[in-house]
Copies of this chain bind each other. A is one copy, B any other.
Amino acid sequence: MKTVGIVGANGYTGSELIRLLAFHPNVSLRFLYSRSYSGTKISDLYPDLTTVCEKVLTDQPEDVDILFLCLPHKESRNWLTRNAVKDETLVIDLGNDFRLDGKFGNRNFIYGLPEINKKQLPGAKSIANPGCFATAIQLALLPLAEKEWLNEVYTTGITGSTGAGQSLQATTHFTWRNDNISAYKTLSHQHVDEILQQLVSFNHQEISLNFVPWRGDFARGIFTSSTIKTDIEFSDMYQLYRDFYADAPFVKISETAIDLKQVVNTNRCVIQIEKCGNVTVIHSAIDNLLKGASGQAVQNMNIAMGWEENLGLNLKPIAF
């Protein structure tokens, strides 16, 4: 059994990690770190965790084999600066601190999208877990980037309220958000740089990604549609995607219409391609807290530790 610590365990992605790791056969939770909730039982914050995890949040980290950082963006770097972490500890950061620039002291964070970096991950000690929209959009576009076929991309994506975290805001108030749709960070979402850095490394030429994010009136999930111009035949494109993801246990290329609830409460990504004339649309869907955050973090841990990629990730879909 490897020991695990979770920093920022009181948030959505932190608590979701607990839900996953509580039943993971190869790890045991040693500490749950939270400065603001130190002394509180995690199951008092999240009653669904009662009997599943009865640990008390602490502000005293301990030595562990695996450390997950579930902090607000820009705080992972601070935390690692202030707290000593042994070199042999596997650190997986769910924030965006090390996605664009992975250097931190002796550590060099690998971008933890297993569908790209599965070969570099085994034995890794530092992993930068991708963003939620970044995961959904990259998985939709990667096969095209690898062929250097990307040029102009027009993407709309919609995200659940959990994407905004647990802080109380006007746009997460139930009265406002119920039955409502709105755009935010139009053409300026922070994940665009992260997406382009990865895609361009394959595509070898510039990509213009015009991304319009929407807020949805549901709690979990991301659905995206990306439109491009291309002369590639549909059947070739479909085969390209099947081949590209042949070894990816959590990515499924669908021949039929996809919908968001096919993936909610799973670590999966479903992708569908549609073509009309010389225009192609690629749809993708993930659970933003799982494949878009905590599930992918466990997937990265599994690969880094040399365990089966889907260990602890055979989750029952919500389905309905």
Chain B proximity of A128: nearest CB distance (Å): 24
* Cβ–Cβ < 8 Å partners of A20 in chain B: 316
A250-290 with Cβ < 8 A to chain B? 252, 254, 256-266, 270, 272, 274, 276-277, 279, 281, 283, 285, 289
Stretch at the interface among A78-86, A94-102, A220-228: A220-228
Q: How many residues of A contact B (CB 8 A)?
A: 81
A116 close to chain B: CB less than 8 A: no
A244 close to chain B: CB less than 8 A: no
A177-203 toward B: CB 8 Å interface, digit per residue (1/0)?
111111110111000000000000000
Q: How many copies does the complex hold?
A: 4
* Cβ–Cβ < 8 Å partners of A186 in chain B: 225, 274, 276, 281, 283
Whether the pair A283, B183 counts as a contact (CB closer than 8 A) is yes
Give the residue name and chain of the B residue nearest to A254 (CB): B47
A10 close to chain B: CB less than 8 A: no
Contact partner, A172, options B174, B254, B281, Cβ 8 Å: B174
Whether the pair A316, B316 counts as a contact (CB closer than 8 A) is yes
Whether the pair A173, B175 counts as a contact (CB closer than 8 A) is no
A3 close to chain B: CB less than 8 A: no
Give the residue name and chain of the B residue nearest to A272 (CB): B183
Contact partner, A174, options B12, B47, B161, Cβ 8 Å: B161
A27 close to chain B: CB less than 8 A: no
Q: Given contacts A181-B260, A212-B156, is CB(A162)–CB(B227) below 8 Å?
A: no
* Cβ–Cβ < 8 Å partners of A154 in chain B: 154, 210, 227
Chain B proximity of A61: nearest CB distance (Å): 25
**In the complex, given contacts A181-B223, A210-B279, A315-B315, what are 16 additional A-B residue pairs having Cβ atoms less than 8 angstroms apart?**
A12-B320, A19-B316, A19-B319, A50-B254, A156-B212, A161-B174, A162-B320, A168-B168, A172-B174, A174-B219, A175-B320, A179-B264, A180-B261, A184-B257, A186-B276, A265-B316
List the 10 closest A-B pairs by CB distance, nearest first. Answer: A168-B168, A156-B156, A187-B276, A182-B259, A154-B154, A48-B317, A179-B218, A181-B223, A174-B177, A186-B274
Chain A residues near B (Cβ < 8 Å)? 12, 15-16, 19-20, 23, 44, 46-48, 50-51, 154, 156, 158, 160-162, 166, 168-170, 172-184, 186-188, 210, 212, 214, 216-221, 223, 225, 227, 249, 252, 254, 256-266, 270, 272, 274, 276-277, 279, 281, 283, 285, 289, 314-320
